[in-house]
Amino acid sequence: MAITWGTIKSLLIFFGPILLPKAISYYRRARAAPSIHGIPIRPVPSSVSRSLSILFLIALIFLLKTLPPFLPPNLFSLTSSRLQIPTDVLFTRLSSLNNGILTPLDDTLRQKFASLESRLLYLQFGPDVLAHCTFCTPEDPKSYFYYTIPALLTPHLFNLCVLALVTSGLFTGREGAIWRTTATTAAVGMALLDIYITSSYSYQSNSRATRLEELDFFYWKMITYRYIGLSLLDGIIGWLLYLSSTNRAFLNPPTTAERIERTTKVLEQARGKLGAVGLVRNTVVRDRELRAVVEEYWVREGNVTREVMEDRAVVDGVRNALENRVDLVAVQREAESFAEAVVGGKVMGG
């Protein structure tokens, strides 16, 4: 049973108000995770950058395959013919468009177009399946579907291999491996959906079309939808890789063991630095010449500081700074009030 657009709209109207707020809330929590855990945003790692380049290239190729020059020819659309047109007239028009030349594929289709059933199957499965399937017959429409399954799954399997590569731990590292299950599930789900839509399509609906505009060119529409869907999937996976690898969202907080290990490393580094400082200090203290140099430095530093602080301009500057920052009169008044309160309390208590 095919799922109609009306059914999809009904499901969206029913589940949309429930799922949309949850999705927005999940996205906001995912975006806020780095700031909550105090993890800074970082540049895109080189391995992830390589994966993003591959995904962009594959998505671009998929989009290019939806353009008319890369689509299989549609005889009815090329010749502006209705479905019930006589076969000889149809291919005469096609021959005139090709300077009187018909390809071997056209000759094979000419033999197949003898019945309306074959033309309807042509609109569902395309020219290659109708012309090259040797065991398919219009009396068994499912045979055409069985024949087209390998060609239908080829782009999905190719994209699945690409996603498996860019989410591989060996190729991308931990940043890509966390999305491996998501990418695989989405790719397999899209392939199954494609198979379901193709198998459940009611090709007989085109038999009632009397004009070219009323025909549903299912095969060519599905090619466009298929490649757009695959490019969108690659784009979404790339977007998730970018957000998670740069700590912008979808962050997995470090485990307790990882935090302990990181803290231990920091403490070990600090201990090493303190040990180095201690060694230098011991060396200076035990060496007479170095100790004399250090003592001379601090004596000279003290003399310079004392001379600076005795300078009238410096004294005035310090006084002005303190007066601007602290209200000495108010501080003195508060101190007197506090002292009087304490003394008065003691006297009354006595």
The four Cα atoms 145, 148, 149, 150 give a dihedral, to 10 degrees, of 160
pLDDT at position 220, please?
Answer: 92
Question: For the purposes of burial, counting CB atoms within 10 Å of the CB of 322, is it exposed (0-12), middle (13-18) or buried (19 or more)?
Answer: exposed
Residue 349 has pLDDT above 80, yes or no: no
Rounded to an integer, the average pLDDT of 140-162 is 93
Q: Residue 82: CA atoms inside 13 Å, Cβ hemisphere, count?
A: 8
Rounded to an integer, the average pLDDT of 346-350 is 45
pLDDT at position 152, please?
Answer: 93
pLDDT-based confidence at residue 102 (cuts at 50, 70, 90): confident
pLDDT at position 346, please?
Answer: 46
Residue 61 has pLDDT above 70, yes or no: yes
Task: Compute the mean pLDDT over every residue in the chain, rounded to the nearest whole number.
Answer: 82
Q: What is the pLDDT of residues 23-40, one digit of tens each?
A: 777 667 666 655 655 666
Rounded to an integer, the average pLDDT of 299-317 is 78
Higher pLDDT, 84 or 233: 233
pLDDT at position 348, please?
Answer: 45
Higher pLDDT, 97 or 325: 97
pLDDT at position 322, please?
Answer: 66
pLDDT at position 3, please?
Answer: 56
Q: What is the pLDDT of residues 34-58, one digit of tens each?
A: 565 566 677 888 888 999 999 999 9
Task: Assign 39 to helix, strand or coil.
Answer: coil
Q: Is the pTM of this model over 0.75?
A: no
Rounded to an integer, the average pLDDT of 117-141 is 89
Domain boundaries, the chain: 45-252, 282-349
Q: What is the pLDDT of residues 197-233, one digit of tens each?
A: 999 888 888 888 888 888 888 999 999 999 999 999 9
pLDDT at position 289, please?
Answer: 80
pLDDT at position 36, please?
Answer: 58
Give dist(CA 331, CA 320) in Å, integer. 16
Give dist(CA 329, CA 322) in Å, integer. 12
pLDDT-based confidence at residue 1 (cuts at 50, 70, 90): very low
Give dist(CA 101, CA 1) in Å, integer. 42
Residue 334 has pLDDT above 90, yes or no: no
Give dist(CA 81, CA 114) in Å, integer. 15
